[in-house]
Amino acid sequence: MKSSGENKTLSIGDLAERFGLATHVLRHWETMGLLSPVRDAAGRRRYRTADLTRVAVILRAKEAGLSLDTIRSLAATTNPAARRNILRHEAETLRSHIAAAQASLELIECALDCDHEDFTQCSHFRQMVAERIGPDAPVHVPV
């Protein structure tokens, strides 16, 4: 980090390189209100230690599956209860996605483990399809 007085700062290029990001990503995050770099006398963005922390938090939140809008909402509130409510909603959404992915994996594994030459003829596969269709509906799997 370059020293400018007591405040050490990074250029946008240096910060982007540090995190393996393109500079346009940092500019986008700024337009969304996720980052607020200071400007030097020439108007160039300068990123302080707090900005490094913020970028790390944004990246961790994205890795956890949070959208930039959700990250912005979390950052915008200082109310711990509001943050917990946002995270509860995100956790429920993630649980739903995990359940759907698990069901998909079970269907694929069923087809892979099937003794039938054509898994669409397997009674277990047909049962899984029928469960998806709902009760009282005939199951027709095209051959």
What are 19-65's pLDDT values in tens digits? 999 999 999 999 999 999 999 999 999 999 999 999 999 999 999 99
Residue-level pLDDT at 139: 60
**Buried b / exposed e across 43-66, counting CB within 10 Å, b at 16+?**
eebbbbeebbebbeebeebeeeeb
Mean residue pLDDT across the chain: 89
* Token pair for 22: 């393109």
Q: Which residue has the higher pLDDT, 108 or 57?
A: 57
In the DSSP assignment, the letter for residue 120 is: G
Q: At what angle do helices 12-19 and 49-63 cross, to 10 degrees?
A: 40
Tell me the one-letter amino acid at 49: T
User: 116 — phi, psi (to 5°)?
Assistant: -70, 145
Residue-level pLDDT at 103: 87
2-65 maps to which CATH number? 1.10.1660.10
Ordered by start, the domain boundaries in the chain are 2-65, 81-133
What is the spatial distance between Cα 55 and Cα 101, in angstroms, rounded to a whole number?
Answer: 29
Question: Mean pLDDT, to the nearest integer, of 109-122?
Answer: 85
**Buried b / exposed e across 102-135, counting CB within 10 Å, b at 16+?**
eeeeebeeebeebeeeebeebeebeebeeeeeee
Residue-level pLDDT at 83: 96
Residue-level pLDDT at 85: 97
Tell me the one-letter amino acid at 130: A
